[in-house]
Amino acid sequence: MTKPKKILITGVAGFIGFHLAKYLIKKKYQVIGLDNMNNYYSVSLKKNRINILKDLSKKNFNFFKLNICKYNNFSILHKFKIDYIFHLAAQAGVRYSLEQPQKFIDSNITGFLNIINFAKAQKITKIFYASSSSVYGSNKKIPFEEKDRTDNMLQFYAVTKKTNELMASTYSKLENLSIICGRFFTVYGPMGRPDMAVYKFALRILKKRTIQIYNRGNHFRDFTYIDDLVVVLYKIMNKHLSIRDRKYFNIFNISSGKKCNIEKILKLLEFNLNKKAKINYVNRQKGDMIGTLGSNKKLKKFISKIPITKYEKGIRLFTSWLLKYNKKF
């Protein structure tokens, strides 16, 4: 197996893209990172992530502020001989997709098509891209398995992610592309997204603001710690590179495989922040999944071993970072 020299990461200023880029740069890969730096959440946090990557290596990291919705923008990348693509860029936000569906069409569907066309034009044959546990929608069978139905989604974000899966499956055959899809399950950790539950709850506890708990606390999630996810992505890439089938397509859940009630996360945050949460229990919100839990048996067969950080440790590491990052608390 030949080690890839140059890796393209879209959404590199995002939470997962940043951590993956950091990991690969430390392993001496050359990372070419793209991001449009939109203001869906804190642009300053995104800039901080990029600055950390630049400080790590000015030689092994190239960053381009680029909108993947416009194919002509990709011409700036033609000088690089890219060996592998991690496509992580997407318009995020389950509830936001109900308000601004066009943004999700542009970024998640048109943007993904542009990535495929770019790979085809540059003869890049191997792509990993991020899907989501939200494609399982209202499925009641737990844990979710990759073979389960995914035609009963609850919000438009999930629809765009399922569309990506269908596009990838079709284009892998039409264009001789080898594509792997990872269905991510609620990723959390340092430098995370402020709109996600763990970060959002922690900030509200620190600011002594009320936390709205939907579905009266009966939600549960399969939370995945960021460092675990990054190691899994690295292992997937290495295994993917050894597969010779040019028309390969596969889907994997990437999860901890551990069910966790939202209230347990709140208690861990309270303990680590040494502050009590103000809680208001409300009804379930439109588009919310009641629970997510992913089977990772298929993934284990593919990469053998999956790192799993216990929630107690993961929340401790996250809150430790948060208190340092937000020193005003």
Query: What sections of 110-260 are H helices per DSSP?
Result: 111-121, 156-174, 197-206, 226-241
Cβ contacts of 169-176, under 8 Å, gap ≥ 24: 169/249, 171/116, 172/247, 172/248, 172/249, 173/247, 173/249, 175/116, 175/120, 176/125, 176/246, 176/247
In 3D space, the residue among 24, 68, 63 whose CA is nearest the CA of residue 230 turns out to be 24
Task: Tell me the β-bridge partners of 252.
Answer: 182
Residue type, 298: K
Q: What does the DSSP 8-state code read for residue 43?
A: H
- Give the residue numbers marked as catalytic: 157
What sign results for the dihedral spanned by CA atoms 66, 47, 132, 100? negative
Q: Which residues contact 212 (CB under 8 A, 6 or more apart)?
A: 280, 282
d(CA 88, CA 68): 11
Here the tokens at position 313 are: 């440790």
Helix (H) or strand (E) holding 10, with range, is: strand 6-10
Q: How many helices (H) and strands (E) does the chain have?
A: 11, 13
